[in-house]
């Protein structure tokens, strides 16, 4: 008589026969374990926050997931990650409202533990703007899960939002996810623990602060950098002597000229014709005056017309002298020896000009000075004789020494720039005369000030203009 199979051999027999194993409900647990394994493999903080906002919805459905971190102020919270956008917009109304709401809840001690929060509920300290932004949210049911630091303080947390409230089973799973992500976050951030390392860090910070303070009190000579141009010292301005059009510039830019040398030729057709006509009028007036003078001895009428003929002759001669003077003015000549300074012939040839309009300058090439445009944002109190260092663009390996001659009383707007500046004139003191028209940078030296003021002058001015201090 054969033995009956015991309980231990029955499953084996069924397996041999090809029957299916008894199904078990381990799917959610396996998904949680797989999700935690994926979290441990993340290598950066950004990847962790992205997974926290977008990957946790695979286990617990949420419409919006936001990660917040506490600032140094223990009541101020800032949103660092958002499931709906790749980068958090700190100016968005919902984000600002949630940060304000978390600050109120933290002040009352309601963020130390996990719990549900209804965004539509109004707190005593909530203003109308924050309440309206929260009321407009389409996912009003939120669940807050804190993420404690190493020392047990609440430094971060996750806010899950959706249309329906979270059930207890989902709350337990959210807390498990927060613990997993919090541990991974601390590991990636590498925050130092309290102890000797923290104390040494504090000591080093205090020592660095003291060293920076002492260094900031060291006196230095304040200086600013400003654009500079080499200009002639006493140039002679050549202006248009008449209203007309320039025919030809008779000298090239930067050409050496002699006194009396023609520089500019104006269109002289009208002036030349006027001079020719005036000569003919003088000839006619002289002939009439001579005829009436000869007839005056015999004819009484001729004696009466002789006076008017003489007046007409004088007027014709004056008109001739005026026409000859205008014809002579059509050619502009150099008043002294020097160099003709202007940009390009094409800027003037064929152009109509008015009387007094500047055409060019004639200056001595070795008699120069420096024109420095000092910005009003970096204005120094400069005294005559203050030191100036000049660095030309075409001579980067060397510099020139100069001293301040004068400084404009009022600023003016620089051509091609929206910034105003003071014009500072300086003269060379090293006997060197750079080429007129050279450009570069000048360093202006003022009084002695602490090093901190020299370094922080621009940032402090920008801060005052921004804040209106």
pLDDT digits (tens, 9 = 90+) for 201-219: 777 888 888 887 777 777 7
Query: In angstroms, rounded to a whole number, what is the distance separating the alpha carbons of residues 175 and 357?
Result: 83
Give pLDDT, residue 418.
73
Please report the domains of the chain, with CATH numbers, ordered by start residue: 30-189 (3.30.450.40), 236-359 (no CATH), 365-464 (2.40.30)
The 10 Å CB-count burial string (b at 16+, else e) for 358-395 is ebbbbbbeeebbbebbbbeebbbebeeebbbbbbbeee
3-state secondary structure of 358: strand
Highest averaged pLDDT of the listed ranges 367-381, 405-419, 444-458: 367-381
Q: Please give the C-alpha separations between residue 388 and each of 253, 407, 429, in angstroms, as whole numbers.
A: 29, 13, 10
Return the CA Rg of the chain.
46
Give pLDDT, residue 321.
92
- Does 17 have pLDDT greater than 70? no
CB 78 within 8 A of CB 157: no
Give pLDDT, residue 129.
76
CB 354 within 8 A of CB 200: no
HEC states along 122-190?
CCCCCCHHHHHHHHCCCCCEEEEEEEECCCCCEEEEEEEEECCCCCHHHHHHHHHHHHHHHHHHHHHHC
Give pLDDT, residue 26.
58
Q: What is the pLDDT of residues 308-322, one digit of tens each?
A: 888 888 998 999 999
Average pLDDT, the chain: 80
3-state secondary structure of 431: coil
Token reading at 442: 């000048």
Q: What is the pLDDT of residues 136-183, one digit of tens each?
A: 787 888 888 888 776 667 778 888 888 888 888 888 888 888 887 887
E-only strand ranges, 21-102:
64-70, 77-82
Q: Which residues, in sequence order, are CB contacts of 342 under 8 Å at separation 6+?
A: 249, 253, 348, 359, 360, 361
Q: What is the pLDDT of residues 341-397, one digit of tens each?
A: 998 989 999 899 999 999 999 998 888 999 999 888 777 878 888 889 999 988 877
CB 452 within 8 A of CB 382: no
**Phi, psi at residue 8, to the nearest 5°?**
-75, -25
Q: What is the pLDDT of residues 251-293, one digit of tens each?
A: 999 899 999 999 999 998 888 899 899 999 999 988 888 888 8
Query: In angstroms, rounded to a whole number, what is the distance separating the alpha carbons of residues 443 and 434?
Result: 17
Token reading at 280: 């003919």
For the packed helices 168-189 and 27-40, what is the interaxial angle rounded to 10 degrees?
A: 20
pTM of the prediction? 0.45
| Helix, strand and coil in the chain, % to nearest 5 | 40, 25, 35
**Phi, psi at residue 359, to the nearest 5°?**
-105, -50
Percentage of residues in the chain having pLDDT higher than 90: 19
């Amino acid at each position: 008589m054969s033995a009956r199979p015991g309980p231990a051999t029955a499953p084996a027999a069924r397996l041999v026969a090809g029957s299916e194993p008894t199904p078990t409900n381990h799917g959610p647990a396996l998904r949680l374990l797989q999700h935690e394994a994926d979290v441990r493999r993340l290598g950066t903080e950004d990847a962790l926050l992205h997974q926290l906002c977008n990957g946790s919805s695979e286990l617990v459905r949420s419409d919006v997931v936001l990660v917040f971190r506490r600032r140094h102020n223990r009541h101020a919270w800032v949103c660092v990650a958002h499931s709906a956008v790749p980068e958090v917009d700190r100016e968005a109304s919902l984000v600002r409202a949630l940060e304000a709401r978390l600050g109120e809840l933290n002040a009352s001690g309601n963020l130390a533990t996990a719990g549900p929060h209804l965004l539509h509920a109004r707190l005593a300290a909530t203003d109308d703007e924050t309440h309206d932004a929260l009321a407009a949210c389409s996912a009003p049911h939120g669940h807050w899960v804190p993420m404690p630091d190493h020392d047990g303080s609440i430094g971060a947390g996750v806010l899950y939002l959706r249309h329906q409230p979270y059930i207890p089973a989902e709350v337990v799973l959210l807390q498990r996810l927060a613990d997993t992500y919090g541990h991974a976050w601390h590991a990636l951030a590498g925050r130092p623990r309290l102890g000797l390392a923290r104390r040494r860090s504090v000591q080093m910070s205090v020592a660095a602060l003291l060293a920076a303070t002492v260094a900031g009190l060291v006196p230095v000579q304040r200086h600013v950098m400003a654009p500079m141009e080499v200009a002639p010292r006493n140039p002679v301005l050549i202006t248009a002597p008449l209203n007309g059009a320039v025919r030809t510039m008779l000298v090239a830019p930067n050409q050496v000229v002699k006194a009396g040398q023609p520089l500019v030729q104006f269109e002289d057709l009208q002036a030349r014709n006027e001079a020719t006509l005036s000569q003919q009028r003088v000839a006619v007036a002289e002939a009439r005056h001579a005829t009436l003078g000869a007839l005056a001895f015999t004819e009484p009428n001729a004696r009466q017309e002789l006076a008017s003929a003489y007046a007409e002759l004088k007027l014709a001669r004056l008109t001739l002298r005026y026409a000859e003077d205008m014809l002579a003015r059509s050619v502009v000549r150099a008043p002294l020896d020097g160099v003709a300074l202007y940009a390009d012939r094409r800027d003037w040839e064929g152009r109509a000009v008015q009387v007094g309009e500047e055409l060019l300058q004639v200056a001595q090439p070795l008699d120069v000075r420096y024109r420095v445009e000092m910005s009003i944002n970096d204005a120094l109190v400069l005294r005559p004789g203050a030191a100036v260092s000049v660095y030309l663009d075409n001579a980067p390996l060397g510099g020139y020494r100069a001293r301040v001659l004068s400084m404009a009383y009022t600023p003016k707007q620089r051509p091609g720039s929206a910034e105003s500046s003071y014009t500072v004139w300086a003269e060379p003191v090293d006997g060197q005369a750079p080429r007129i028209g050279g450009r570069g940078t000048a360093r202006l030296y003022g009084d002695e000030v602490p090093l901190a003021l020299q370094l922080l002058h621009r940032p402090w001015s920008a801060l005052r203009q921004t804040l209106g201090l």
